[in-house]
Amino acid sequence: MRFRFTCCLLFWAGVWLVTCPCGWAQSSPTAADKAKAKKALQEIHDFIGLWNLEGTQKVGAKTEAWKETVRWGWKFQDGDAWLIVSFADGQGKYFSTGELRYDVAKKKYVLTLKPAEKNATPQQFVGDYTRGMLKLDRTDAQTGDVYRLTMNTAAEGIRFVLRYEKQTAGKGLFTTVYAMNGNKDGESLAGGGAKKPECVVSGGAANIAVQYNGKTYYVCCTGCRDEFLANPQKYAK
């Protein structure tokens, strides 16, 4: 009798998890939602590529500077697509790696970053992309401090600008913690604005050539290259 009662409880608990909107189980995104998320991320396609940046921050009365590369690319899996980023090949001063997704239901961009400190808890920033700028905030649950990341490209996609700011206890003005800016690898402001081929997988400027059936196609990053090679007929159209 006790065995039958326990099995019954487990059965209805499973039903509750699946059907209750506030339960732990969540429905998978639909194909339409995945397409909407990819389209939203295409708005910031100019981020894609390798950037050679210089970081600066105030330490007392002095300004410290360092060099750091930042690489953005696409990631594809099971029909879904999102952006990934690495700082100094995973050895950045403040962050190592991260991924940027788009929440279709909330219409928000969500950037999850892994701090440089070993075993540190990932940090999630949420925000919008407006007027060519991605602005994302994160609130510290213990202190109430608000941290803001703003990122944008400039000079027709040749330069990348990143600013990290802090608002103490969520009140008053934001102050700059550090800033990073620099050019895309292989580009210069004196290089002119020659139009580049379009990535056949994600759209936007592309500079990596791939071959299929004797023809040359172009993609923007290694993620799009792998996706093209896995589904060449789909994108060759």
pLDDT digits (tens, 9 = 90+) for 196-229: 789 999 988 888 999 999 999 999 999 999 999 9
Domain that holds residue 119: 31-188
Distance CA 189, CA 17 (A): 56
Residues 220 and 159 in one domain: no
Domain presence at residue 14:
no
Residue 89 DSSP code? G
Q: What is the pLDDT of residue 192?
A: 54
Q: What is the pLDDT of residue 29?
A: 83
Distance, C-alpha 181 to centroid of its chain: 17
Q: Among all chains, which residue has been given the structure tokens 């290259």?
A: 225
Residues 218 and 139 in one domain: no
Q: Decide if 205 contacts 187 (C-beta within 8 A).
A: no
Domain presence at residue 19:
no
Domain presence at residue 101:
yes
Residues 152 and 176 in one domain: yes
- Structural domain total, the chain: 2
Residues, the chain: 237
- Half-sphere exposure (CA, 13 Å, Cβ side) for 103? 13
* 18: pLDDT strictly greater than 60: no
Q: Among all chains, which residue has been given the structure tokens 């997988």?
A: 201
Residues 117 and 206 in one domain: no
Last residue of a domain, one of 147, 170, 188: 188
Domain presence at residue 1:
no
The torsion angles phi and psi of 175, rounded to 5 degrees, stand at -115, 145
